[in-house]
A and B are shown apart, each in its own frame.
Chain A
């Protein structure tokens, strides 16, 4: 009879106590799975929203644009009909390729003149990218509209502009002169980013190009059908550009998603804290159970030692009991946790509106393999850890005292 099986039988001999220990472990696993799965879902929702409404999965720009483009946008234009655009459009997993121009300028309406951040977009291709942008008043940009503008809510308030008003946009041209165009406000929008809404406006690509006296664009935003494919796509596109001698930089979304990255870091830390607390609860409850078990079985331990077991073997026997508890309790917790996660996701967790939003939404629990495996490992590791001290105590018993115990 191998020691691990002996350990299992010893556990089964105390069914009630073992059940309580398993319950404690399983409960911890379920709690951590649900908490972690909920955060995972929030990360996922945020990631996809950032990608689909702002960043795309992959951006293609001139080298150096992301670092210096804000100061000198004219140096980094790419031709709108660059042959590489066709490559991006035909790229596998490609859902949409969207051009962007980003620039700053001044906007005047009546007596008011304020600075703005401009986004030149292609209205025909923008639909998949505008999930995060809510039209508050008026309409979205229509395809073929050469004069329309969308103003951020705050910017429009500063200007006192409303849909239907004509405004003037001023910007410096590549040659250093100043150019102006007229535009008509078609609608007002807001996003989840209030600072953006206070300064931003959207205009059709050709209007922006007329203002800046250019034929180019700053970025191609490539939207894929699967976020997991991002790194492969970046690598493939880089290889293609290198082979073609195209001087373009390929940037994955996560290099640009500062807010997302910091949120993940923050919540990730919180989750580690929760994991730590759950681990501690498991350690405390299991070590208590194991110490009781060692005390009750003192004479049995004395017998094991007298029969010629080395101390290390007795230690191993008790650690095996902890290992079994961790493995079984962890598995039970995983099974229950996964089932509960499905149930809760089906019902939905009502969430309050996030900052800047008017409506709440239904949260879900999203379990990833790494979360499930990590949680199970945490349960096993903390149970083994909890059994170390009782096991050590058992292995250090004085044989004759242990044999006399309880007589």
Chain B
């Protein structure tokens, strides 16, 4: 809270959305012990448009998963919004994700039985402070932001890959999270569509100040990032 107040007093946002310190991640793969992340320390500020770049198997997805609180580090600490989330219970982390983190997946991962609008509304259903009208308004707003207002009632299988990823972006934005994490968001899209998705993300970042962190190995996507963190063999390259 003190930091919040200080930030407001000085009239500028100095908050760190994400801070990781000395992060290590090991896991067992068959008989082998895999060292996925080694001694990672990183700070992401509010409003950044950050790419975590590296070849496949470099650990960029693992890092993104840990930042997204869907995976836990073997050692090291993680702050989200300057709050230490190490050692929180699965339910506490679920609540944190529901409120503070938006996800965009490589394979879109929309719920196939829900329409585009219902998919966007889905993460809001436990938001007690929003009544039905407010939720509808948000859904409409974010579908407009991603340019799919006229596809509100389409099911995912009636949409193209690019359209699905746009719905996923709208879904990630609907909760108005502190940050949006995107793991290889363009890997399953053709180049032109992928560029469009990236451009949309960047536009939202510029317009609404939403923090984006995405992983990619595509040099053309990396080129669009404001800041690039390179990772190789589980270590950050400085």
Indicate whether A and B interact.
yes
Bound-complex Cα distance A270 to B121 (A): 52
**CB-based contact A306/B68 at 8 Å:** yes
Chain A binder among B45-53, B87-95, B192-200: B87-95
Interface residue range, chain A: 20 to 34
Contact with A along B110-133 (1 / 0, CB 8 A): 011110001001110100000000
Bound-complex Cα distance A215 to B57 (A): 108
**A158 in the interface (beta carbon within 8 A):** no
**A112 in the interface (beta carbon within 8 A):** no
Bound-complex Cα distance A7 to B71 (A): 27
A300 in contact with B111 given A1-B118, A307-B98, A311-B91 (CB within 8 Å): yes
A9 in contact with B94 given A306-B70, A307-B123, A308-B123 (CB within 8 Å): no
Bound-complex Cα distance A308 to B124 (A): 10
Q: Which residues of B sit under 8 angstroms from A311, Cβ to Cβ?
A: 90-91, 94
6 contacts between A and B (CB under 8 A): A1-B125, A307-B98, A308-B96, A308-B101, A309-B98, A310-B91
B122-169 interface (Cβ within 8 A of A): 122-123, 125
Bound-complex Cα distance A223 to B94 (A): 69
**CB-based contact B94/A6 at 8 Å:** no
**A10 in the interface (beta carbon within 8 A):** yes
A308 in contact with B105 given A1-B121, A13-B113, A399-B71 (CB within 8 Å): no
**A400 in the interface (beta carbon within 8 A):** yes
Bound-complex Cα distance A312 to B95 (A): 12
**CB-based contact B112/A307 at 8 Å:** no
| Closest partner residue, chain A, to B100 (CB atom) | A308
Bound-complex Cα distance A308 to B123 (A): 8
Q: Which residues of B sit under 8 angstroms from A328, Cβ to Cβ?
A: none
**CB-based contact A308/B98 at 8 Å:** yes
**CB-based contact B105/A303 at 8 Å:** yes
**CB-based contact B103/A307 at 8 Å:** yes
A1, A304, A312, A403: which contacts B105 (Cβ < 8 A)? A403
Bound-complex Cα distance A311 to B96 (A): 14
Residues of A within 8 A of B (CB): 1-2, 6, 9-10, 12-13, 299-300, 302-312, 399-400, 403, 407
Of A9, A10, A311, A400, most buried by chain B (CB within 10 Å of CB) is A400
**CB-based contact B95/A310 at 8 Å:** yes
Bound-complex Cα distance A12 to B155 (A): 14
Q: Which residues of A sit under 8 angstroms from B111, Cβ to Cβ?
A: 6, 300, 303-304
Determine how close the nearest CB of chain A comes to the CB of B159; give it in whole angstroms: 16
**B109 in the interface (beta carbon within 8 A):** yes
Determine how close the nearest CB of chain A comes to the CB of B115; give it in whole angstroms: 9
**CB-based contact B109/A399 at 8 Å:** no
Q: Which residues of B sit under 8 angstroms from A303, Cβ to Cβ?
A: 103, 105, 109, 111
Q: Which residues of A sit under 8 angstroms from B97, Cβ to Cβ?
A: 306-308
**CB-based contact B113/A400 at 8 Å:** no
Bound-complex Cα distance A300 to B111 (A): 7
**B99 in the interface (beta carbon within 8 A):** yes
**CB-based contact A299/B109 at 8 Å:** yes
Q: Which residues of A sit under 8 angstroms from B118, Cβ to Cβ?
A: 1
Question: Which 9 pairs from chain A and chain B are nearest by CB?
Answer: A308-B98, A9-B113, A308-B97, A303-B109, A399-B70, A310-B94, A400-B71, A310-B91, A306-B70
**CB-based contact B109/A305 at 8 Å:** no
Contact with A along B64-97 (1 / 0, CB 8 A): 0100101100000000000000000011001111
**CB-based contact B122/A1 at 8 Å:** yes
**B107 in the interface (beta carbon within 8 A):** yes
Bound-complex Cα distance A300 to B156 (A): 13
A2, A299, A306, A310: which contacts B103 (Cβ < 8 A)? A306
Determine how close the nearest CB of chain A comes to the CB of B212; give it in whole angstroms: 17
Bound-complex Cα distance A403 to B105 (A): 9
**CB-based contact B94/A305 at 8 Å:** yes
Q: Which residues of A sit under 8 angstroms from B101, Cβ to Cβ?
A: 308
Determine how close the nearest CB of chain B comes to the CB of A127; give it in whole angstroms: 68
A307 in contact with B113 given A299-B107, A399-B70, A400-B65 (CB within 8 Å): no
Of B65, B70, B95, B112, most buried by chain A (CB within 10 Å of CB) is B70
| Closest partner residue, chain B, to A307 (CB atom) | B123
Determine how close the nearest CB of chain A comes to the CB of B172; give it in whole angstroms: 9
Determine how close the nearest CB of chain B comes to the CB of A18; give it in whole angstroms: 12
Bound-complex Cα distance A39 to B90 (A): 52
Bound-complex Cα distance A311 to B98 (A): 13
Q: Which residues of A sit under 8 angstroms from B109, Cβ to Cβ?
A: 299-300, 302-303, 403
| Closest partner residue, chain A, to B96 (CB atom) | A308
Bound-complex Cα distance A305 to B98 (A): 9
Determine how close the nearest CB of chain A comes to the CB of B109; give it in whole angstroms: 4
B70, B91, B98, B125: which contacts A400 (Cβ < 8 A)? B70
A10 in contact with B113 given A310-B91, A310-B94 (CB within 8 Å): yes
| Closest partner residue, chain B, to A312 (CB atom) | B91
**CB-based contact B114/A308 at 8 Å:** no
A6 in contact with B103 given A399-B71, A403-B70 (CB within 8 Å): no
Q: Which residues of A sit under 8 angstroms from B95, Cβ to Cβ?
A: 308, 310
**CB-based contact A308/B68 at 8 Å:** no
Of A6, A300, A303, A305, most buried by chain B (CB within 10 Å of CB) is A303
Inter-chain pairs besides A303-B111, A306-B103, A403-B105, 6 sampled, C-beta below 8 Å: A1-B121, A1-B122, A300-B112, A307-B97, A308-B96, A310-B95
Q: Which residues of A sit under 8 angstroms from B113, Cβ to Cβ?
A: 6, 9-10, 12-13
Q: Which residues of B sit under 8 angstroms from A6, Cβ to Cβ?
A: 111, 113-114
Determine how close the nearest CB of chain A comes to the CB of B106; give it in whole angstroms: 8
Determine how close the nearest CB of chain A comes to the CB of B104; give it in whole angstroms: 11
Q: Which residues of B sit under 8 angstroms from A305, Cβ to Cβ?
A: 70, 94
